[in-house]
């Protein structure tokens, strides 16, 4: 009788432990993702540091792939949006992979816009309005349509006109 109870306990643990470990791994991945997809400079800096040194994060199986700004220019009018687009791709791809995309899309889009505005802040006051205009256009494209493919050449031309004023 004691052996039978012990066997049932061992089999129950064998079934429960891997499930708990898998759930913990998903929770841990979600926690790391949440830390790296906030609309703050600290969050972006943490993500970028991990991007540059991926070894400690290999067990999480993050998807680091990117197409940068999709069909839109990665660096429109010379503004460096490529890294912001990569960060955005990272958030979308990894939240989709763990089945938590709908609950996190708005925050990832807000993070993207904050990243773009931080890029714009590094440019001179003369061209900054054009950069902010493009940042808003890129944000609106992903926020409303889920893709930068919605950015049109006319949007870029409008921002370019701001630089000539």
**58-77 pLDDT tens trace:** 999 999 999 999 989 999 99
Which domains are present in the chain? 26-163 (1.20.90.10)
Report the candidate in 130, 103, 115 with the shortest Cα–Cα distance to residue 69: 115
In the set 62, 84, 87, 88, the catalytic residue is: 88
pLDDT tens-digit map of 22-71? 444 566 999 999 999 999 999 999 999 999 999 999 999 999 999 999 98
Q: Do residues 98 and 26 touch, judged by C-beta distance below 8 A?
A: yes
Rounded to an integer, the average pLDDT of 152-162 is: 90
Query: Is 87 an active-site residue?
Result: no
78: left (phi over 0), alpha (psi -120 to 50) or beta: left
Burial class (CB in 10 A: 0-12, 13-18, 19+), 100: middle
Q: Mean pLDDT score of the chain, rounded to an integer? A: 88
pTM: 0.82
Q: Do residues 132 and 121 touch, judged by C-beta distance below 8 A?
A: no
């Amino acid at each position: 009788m004691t052996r039978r109870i012990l066997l049932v306990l061992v089999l129950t643990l064998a079934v429960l432990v891997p499930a708990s470990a898998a759930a913990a791994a998903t929770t841990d991945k979600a926690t790391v993702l949440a830390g790296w997809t906030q609309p703050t400079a600290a969050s972006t800096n943490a993500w970028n540091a991990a991007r540059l040194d991926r070894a400690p994060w290999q067990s999480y199986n993050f998807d680091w792939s990117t197409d940068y700004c999709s069909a839109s220019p990665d660096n429109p009018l010379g503004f460096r949006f490529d890294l912001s687009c990569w960060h955005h791709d990272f958030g979308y791809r990894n939240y989709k992979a763990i089945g938590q995309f709908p609950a996190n899309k708005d925050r990832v889009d807000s993070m993207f816009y904050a990243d773009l505005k931080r890029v714009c802040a590094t440019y001179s006051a003369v061209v900054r309005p054009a950069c902010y205009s493009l940042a808003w256009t890129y944000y609106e494209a992903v926020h409303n349509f889920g893709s930068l493919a919605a950015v049109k050449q006319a949007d870029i031309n409008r921002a370019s006109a701001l630089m000539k004023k």
